[in-house]
Amino acid sequence: MKWPSGVPWTMHKWCTLDHAQVVYLGPYPSGVPWCMTTTWSTTYVAEKCDVLWKLPHPVLTGGSERQLRELTFGIVLSNYNVGSLGVIVSNIGLLSESNRTDYALQGEHASLHCHYQTAPDETVSSVRWEFKHRGSEESDEVYVWRPNRRPVARGTFFGRTDVSNTDPSVIIIRQAHMDMEGKYRCVVQTNEMSGYTDFQLIVIVDACQENVWTTHLDMDTCTDTIRMHCVGLFPKPSASCGVYNEDTRTYLTSAPFDRIVTLRNSTYEITLTNRYVIRDWTSYTNIYFKCFFVIDGTSWRRGITYKLFGDYGCDPVPPQPGPGTYNMTEEKSCWNRPREGAMVHYSCNSSKVLRGPETLVCRNGSWSPESPTWAGSPEPYCNTARSMKLYFLGDFQDGSFACSRFLEGEWAHGWCLAAARQKGISNNNNNGLGFGDQDEVWIPPNVCKNYYIILTTMDSKGREVV
C-alpha cells in the first residue's frame, strides 16, 4: 500500500493504513529529517516505534515481518514539531539526591521527570506510570496523576513517593529501593490522543566499599595476596580487574570474580582471591592490581588500586660523603633494592667535619634528609674546611656593601645586611678569604656578581683559607 499521492513532504498529515495509524512529519525547513510515530495493532505487532523515513515518499507494502522490520529499524530522533499533531512524550529523566542522572542509590531521594509537549488546544487528562520489573513480561500501573486529584501510588511506589506533589510530569521518590529497579513507561493521555516513552531505572545497593578488600605482602617470598568478600550488592555487577602497568598505561592480565551468588533477598555475594609472586613479574617495576565493580549502563564503580610488591626502592648506592663512611639498614624491596623507609647513617674521619644531614631515608624512591623540613644541603659531605660553597648573586647599589653570614658551617640564605655602609672582611679580588663559624663576608659594589669560594687550608688563627 503506497503512501497517498499529493501529500507534500513538508505537510503534517494523519493517515490510517489498515491497522496502522501514522503520524507523518516531514523535514524541518532547514532540511533536517523529522520523525513519524506508528502505532500498530495486534494484527501487525504490539509495539510503538519511532522511525525515520529516508525517502521523500515512503511506501508501506504490507505487514510481513521483513517489511515491518524495514519500517521500524531506523534512526530515532528527538526533534518534534508538535504543531497540530497532538501530545509528544519525548523522554524520562532521573535526578537523584547525589545529582546522578544514570542511577539512584538505595535510600536516597530521587525524582522521575516525564517530558512531554501538547498542542495548544490539547488538555492532559491523565499521566500514568507503568512498571515492569527486570526479567518480567507483565506491567503494573504504579502511579497515576489526574487533574484536581491527589496522585495515586501503588505497588512498589506505595508509601515511597510524595503524593502531595501536584506536578503531573514528576514523581518524587522519598527513598529509592532496589524493588523499584526496572523499566518504566510514562503514558500521557489527552483529549486528542495518547503518547508514551520508556526508561530503565537502576537502583544500586552500594554494599562494596573499600573495607571488603584485604591485601598482604609476604616480604620473605615476595608474594602478594589480594582478597575480596562483598555481601549485599545490587544489581549484579561486572568485573573490571587485572594487573596494570602504570608505565605503559595498559593491562597485562585480566581477572574475573571467583564467585557471584544470588542471595534470598535478590542481592549478590561476590568473592575474589588472587596471588602474585615477584618471580613472574621481575621485568615490571611499577605495576598495580586494579579491580572494580561495574554496573552496566551506569557510571558507578567501586574497587581498589593496589601497588603490587611494594615500592621499587632506592638506588643501592646512596650519595657518597667523600672522605667518610656510611652504614645502611638492611631492609630490601622485592627487587633487592633498599626499601622504602631504609636509612643511611653517615660519619666522617676525626679530621673531617660532616656537612649536611647525618641520616638519609629512602622516601618515594629517592634518598632524602630524615627531617622533611630540612633546609640545608640535601646531601652529606665530609670536609676539612669550616665552610661550604658560597654564591653571591644580584646587583648592589653604588657606594654600598652587601653581606652574607656563615653560621655553624652553613651559609645563610639571602643577605644578612642590605645596602650597608661599612666594610667588613673582604679583599679586592674576592678570593683567599677565611671564615670562622660566625664570620661575615662583605662585597663592594660592581666587583663580583656571581662567584663561589671553597676554603681548604687553615691559617694561623685557626681559620680555613684558600
Cβ pair 175, 104 in contact under 8 A? no
pLDDT digits (tens, 9 = 90+) for 167-210: 999 999 999 999 999 999 999 999 989 999 999 999 999 998 88
**266 to 4, 139, 393: CA distances (angstroms):** 54, 20, 74
- Over the range 27-50, which residues count as b (16 or more CB within 10 Å of their CB) and which as e? eeeeeebbbbbbbbeeebbeebbb
Cell of 185: 513507561
Q: Which residues, in sequence order, are bridge partners of residue 239? A: 293
Q: How confident is the model at residue 93 (pLDDT cuts 50, 70, 90)?
A: very high
* CA separation for the pair 445, 401 (Å, rounded): 6
* CA separation for the pair 49, 220 (Å, rounded): 65
Beta-carbon neighbour count of residue 51 at 10 Å? 19
Q: How confident is the model at residue 245 (pLDDT cuts 50, 70, 90)?
A: very high
Q: Which residue has the cell 524541518?
A: 28
Lowest mean pLDDT among 51-65, 183-197, 257-271: 51-65
The pLDDT of residue 461 is above 90: no
Helix, strand, coil share of the chain (percent; to 5): 5, 40, 55
Q: Which residues, in sequence order, are bridge partners of residue 99? A: none
Sorted by where each starts, the structural domains of the chain and their CATH numbers stand as 87-204 (2.60.40.10), 210-307 (2.60.40.10), 324-384 (2.10.70)
- Closest by CA to 173, choosing from 140, 129, 138, is 129
Could you list the beta-strand ranges (E) of 202-277: 203-204, 213-218, 223-233, 238-245, 250-251, 259-262, 268-277
- Closest by CA to 377, choosing from 341, 353, 410, is 410
The pLDDT of residue 437 is above 50: no
* CA separation for the pair 13, 350 (Å, rounded): 105
- Closest by CA to 205, choosing from 179, 181, 232, is 232
- The pLDDT, as a whole number, for residue 280 is 95
- The pLDDT, as a whole number, for residue 374 is 83
* CA separation for the pair 192, 311 (Å, rounded): 71
- The pLDDT, as a whole number, for residue 375 is 76
* Phi-psi region at 406: left, alpha or beta (left = phi > 0; alpha = psi -120 to 50): beta
- Residue 96 phi, psi (nearest 5): -95, 170
- Residue 48 phi, psi (nearest 5): -115, 130
Per DSSP, the three-state class of 210 is: helix
* Dihedral over alpha carbons 90, 91, 97, 99 (to 10 degrees): -90
Most confident of 44-58, 67-81, 204-218, 450-464: 204-218
Cell of 80: 518534534
Q: How confident is the model at residue 384 (pLDDT cuts 50, 70, 90)?
A: low
